[in-house]
Amino acid sequence: MTDLDICAAQFCSTSGDLNSNIARHIQLMDLAAKHGVDFLLFPELSLTGYEPSLARELAQAPDAEILQPLRELARQLAMTTVVGLPLRQPDSDAIMIGALVFAADGSQVTYTKQHLHSGEEAVFTPGDGGALLRVGSENLALSICADFTHPSHAHAAALKGAGVYATSVLISENGYARDSELLQGYAKEHSMGVLMANHGGPSGGWACAGRSAFWSPGGDLVASATGTGDCLVIARRRQGVWQGQVVDVSLHSVLPAL
């Protein structure tokens, strides 16, 4: 197995403020690059916060110019980066909960949430998921929150050959024990790594639990944030062995990596 460095960016979004959140994403991307990260995953709807009532106003097309700084930085840093936002599809009024993948080679692909939480259907349309990502020599499968609550979703990712299941989420304090047990179970059952990026503070009226984490194939907890707040949860594979690191963003002066 080749070396691999993957990271969950636990992040406190500013409600409805795209410009502020983009600026903060850029800072965390720079910091992750300084730590040698190959793949960086942000939480569900990280660019807007979890704000269904604002989603139609904030929704962007996948090629929106406002996102160009993120595309360009991912290419400059050679770091595949996944960000969350409401996506407006061309020639359609449908709004989907999406993830844009800005690849290290400058390309871009889209993942859209397939399984909606109860109530989300009032605003959002179910999506089609997306293809596996290739990062180095590893296949990664994406998931957005309620997707992972359907065991068939993780099972399908494993059948396609995913070595890592990467899920962008909003998980509350009340739901964390159940959801983390489910994710750990996928790591054990399917022998694939599971990376989970959660919001680091309140969003959309939810008290988010933070505690973003990575479980190695087999189900061992390798790295986890201790609670809420902005941080990077990094998992590194060296000679087939996973090791973890948690970087407290508040302790770092984040300057451009280039």
Q: What is the pLDDT of residue 200?
A: 96
Residues 41 and 84: beta-carbon distance below 8 Å: no
- Asked if the structure places residue 125 within a domain, the reply is yes
The answer, yes or no, to whether residue 145 has pLDDT greater than 90, is yes
pLDDT in tens, 209-231: 999 999 999 999 999 999 999 99
CB burial readout 196-219, b (16+ within 10 A) else e: bbbbbbbbbebebbbbbbbbbbeb
Ramachandran sector of residue 43 (left: φ over 0; alpha: ψ -120 to 50; beta: rest): beta
Number of domains in the chain: 1
- Asked if the structure places residue 139 within a domain, the reply is yes
Residues 234 and 222: beta-carbon distance below 8 Å: no
- Asked if the structure places residue 257 within a domain, the reply is no
Task: Using alpha carbons, select from 150, 29, 246, 177 the residue that is nearest to residue 167.
Answer: 150
Q: How confident is the model at residue 256 (pLDDT cuts 50, 70, 90)?
A: very low
Domain that holds residue 127: 4-251
Q: What is the pLDDT of residue 89?
A: 82
CA–CA dist 130, 137 (Å, integer): 19
- Asked if the structure places residue 68 within a domain, the reply is yes
Type of residue at 37: V
Count Cβ atoms below 10 Å from residue 240 Cβ, excluding itself: 9
CA–CA dist 227, 112 (Å, integer): 28
- Asked if the structure places residue 205 within a domain, the reply is yes
Phi, psi for 174 (deg, rounded to 5): -65, -30
Q: What is the pLDDT of residue 116?
A: 97
Type of residue at 109: V
Tokens found for residue 125: 């349309």
Count Cβ atoms below 10 Å from residue 127 Cβ, excluding itself: 22
- Asked if the structure places residue 49 within a domain, the reply is yes
CATH classification at residue 108: 3.60.110.10
pTM, 2 dp = 0.96
Q: What is the pLDDT of residue 90?
A: 78
CA–CA dist 250, 229 (Å, integer): 9
- Asked if the structure places residue 223 within a domain, the reply is yes
Among the residue ranges 28-37, 43-52, 87-96, 181-190, the one predicted with the least confidence is 87-96
Task: Using alpha carbons, select from 250, 62, 71, 52 the residue that is nearest to residue 170.
Answer: 52
- Residues in the chain, overall count: 258
The answer, yes or no, to whether residue 49 has pLDDT greater than 90, is yes
**Which stretch of DSSP H or E encloses residue 247?**
strand 241-248
End-to-end CA distance of the chain: 29
